[in-house]
Structure 1
Amino acid sequence: MDVKTVHLAVYETLADWEYGHAVAHINNPRFQRRPGAYRVRTVAGTAAPITTLGGLRVTPDLTVDDLDPADSAMLIMPGAGEWQRGNAVFARAARSFLSAGVPVAAICGATYALAREGLLNDRDHTSNALSSLTKTRAYTGTDRYRDEPAVRDRGLVTAGATGSLEFAREIFAELELYTPEALDAWYGFQRTGDPKLYFRMAKASAA
């Protein structure tokens, strides 16, 4: 089976909780529609290790200069304090991915970078708050803003800082990681802890 790569952008002050659900379950073949179809690799601005907000040290698998949309199934861009200082290299990478028809998923501060790049103007999207996006001149997408935890539209997934679970759900839907029935059960189980939903997920994946 051809294993596709999902690239996770990493940088200083990376927000550990925002990508956790997504990465853990992409790398866990259990209940997946095509078990083991994806792997996650980290990509950074340089080859130097980065330190997350939680104090974890991450050595990137590759640098953004070596990142090619043709070799990727998706680019995931979590939030971080770095976004307040620009981190424009990943915003440009997101443009190249979307132009090539390869999905991009951005949460929290990473959505600001997409707004500065003009990438939210013609797709439904969300963020931490609409007011945070309107501070950039390139952003003209107020009519496409949705006040929801996460939004998916034509290959772009966006979420606010408190929507990491919904962020993962929309990523999984975009990748078709689970069947629709298994995905609904996964999300319900993660939100409520109802064991019946866990077994429903297992049954849906077996079918």
Structure 2
Amino acid sequence: MATIYVYLLETLADWELGYVTAELNSKRFFKKAAPPTVLKTVSASKEPIQTMGGMTIMPDCLIEDIMVAEGNVLLLPGADTWNDARHSAIIEKAHEFLKANAIVGAICGATAALANAGLLDQRQHTSNGPGFLEMVAPAYQGQHFYVDQPSVAADNLITASSTASLLWAKQIIEQLDIFYTNTLEAWYDYFNTGEEKYFYALLESLPDSNPKN
């Protein structure tokens, strides 16, 4: 079973997690015999956090409860509070995940926290545009590995800009191998374009609709 840990911190950017957590939790488009998954929220304390959108969320577990194992996933959302020293523990967990060949997903401000800890110095990555990481992460030395794309998946690390949450979700789902390929493409195309033909392609790709899958 894969456990997907979603890190909670004050001012969490709600919209950046919406696509991926909805699909991982609901499992509505999972393929037959998809690996079982469980979604858990994790934080530095058991205190509730308030998101940027004003929603209050209670964490399921603490950082020390995280199981570092290949197959598990750590998702780090954007927030305005990543420079708080209390988040160094989750960045260390991210380092442990990468060493264990487990997936780490970081978007927006979370990429700056990884950059400042040196975790992007030798890995392909992206963020909120060229120059952003130099501006907000003084210790960043990974300029030669920066890829000017909305979202980049490389070596179990999936990074994205604040405007690429849909593509980020697609790449995470792809890494987990829980959708059929045609389901994932139709899902992405539908939410990316809103075109009706992709909605029907999505429905037709599901196991109950297409026994050939």
Normalised to the residue count of structure 2, the TM-score between the two structures is: 0.90
For 2:106, the equivalent position in structure 1 comes to: 106
For 1:198, the equivalent position in structure 2 comes to: 199
8 A Cα contact 1:5 1:71, kept in partner: no
SS at match of 2:82: helix
The alignment-based identity, stated in percent, is 37
8 A Cα contact 2:70 2:100, kept in partner: no
Cα distance in structure 1, aligned partners of 2:71 and 2:43: 15
- 2:128 is aligned with what amino acid? N
Normalised to the residue count of structure 1, the TM-score between the two structures is: 0.92
For 2:132, the equivalent position in structure 1 comes to: 132
For 2:119, the equivalent position in structure 1 comes to: 119
For 2:182, the equivalent position in structure 1 comes to: 181
Cα distance in structure 2, aligned partners of 1:186 and 1:25: 10
Structure 1 residues 16-27: aligned runs within 5 Å: 16-27=14-25
Which string of whole-angstrom CA distances, capped at 9 and with x for unpartnered residues, describes residues 154-185 of structure 1? 10000011111111111111111212221111
- 1:44 is aligned with what amino acid? S
Give aligned pairs, total: 205
- 1:64 is aligned with what amino acid? I
Structure 1 residue runs of 5 or longer lacking an equivalent are: none
- CA RMSD in angstroms, aligned pairs only: 1.7
Structure 1 residues 37-186: aligned runs within 5 Å: 37-70=36-69, 73-86=72-85, 87-135=87-135, 136-186=137-187
Cα distance in structure 2, aligned partners of 1:119 and 1:152: 14
- 1:93 is aligned with what amino acid? K
1:191/1:111 CA distance change after superposition, 3 Å: same
SS at match of 1:25: helix
Cα distance in structure 1, aligned partners of 2:178 and 2:28: 10
8 A Cα contact 1:7 1:72, kept in partner: no
8 A Cα contact 2:2 2:73, kept in partner: no
Which string of whole-angstrom CA distances, capped at 9 and with x for unpartnered residues, describes residues 53-89 of structure 1? 1111111000002112138620000011111335222
SS at match of 1:158: strand
